[in-house]
Amino acid sequence: EAQVTQNPRYLITVTGKKLTVTCSQNMNHEYMSWYRQDPGLGLRQIYYSMNVEVTDKGDVPEGYKVSRKEKRNFPLILESPSPNQTSLYFCASRGWGGSSPLHFGNGTRLTVT
């Protein structure tokens, strides 16, 4: 089944403790992206990647890192999480060329205390 898989679904951590949220897609998509969603603010793009070893900042990149060493994986790294990064996170991917739509993962709810 074609899908975008995020792990974990829920994560509670403390301020300053490094964490990684994984994202994997099995559709051979070139483009991958991370979003965060907060009440009243909609979906905001954090980082995106157009292919292996190519990443770029979205609208809210501060406090986050990403890497794209393999086509299928696009982990989101929080080196020193803070409470204002408490949010619902979504990973998405799409193929390149034409008009292929985004496919989203089921989300990761992160709480930083």
Partner 1 sequence: DAKTTQPTSMDCAEGRAANLPCNHSTISGNEYVYWYRQIHSQGPQYIIHGLKNNETNEMASLIITEDRKSSTLILPHATLRDTAVYYCIVSANTGTASKLTFGTGTRLQVTL
Binding positions for partner 1, rule: CB under 8 A: 4, 31, 33, 35, 37, 40-45, 48, 50, 56, 58-59, 88, 90, 92, 94, 96-107, 109
Which residue number, 17 or 32, has a Cβ lying nearer to partner 1?
32
- Residue 37 or 67: the one with the smaller Cβ distance to partner 1 is 37
Q: Alpha-carbon distance 98 to 8, whole Å?
A: 32
SS (H, E, C) 45-80: EEEEEEECCEEEECCCCCCCEECCCCCCECCEEECC
Residue number with CB closer to partner 1 (11 or 104): 104
Distance in angstroms (rounded) separating the CA atoms of residues 26 and 29: 8
Shortest Å distance, C-beta 18 to partner 1: 25
Tell the smallest beta-carbon distance from residue 96 to partner 1 (Å).
7
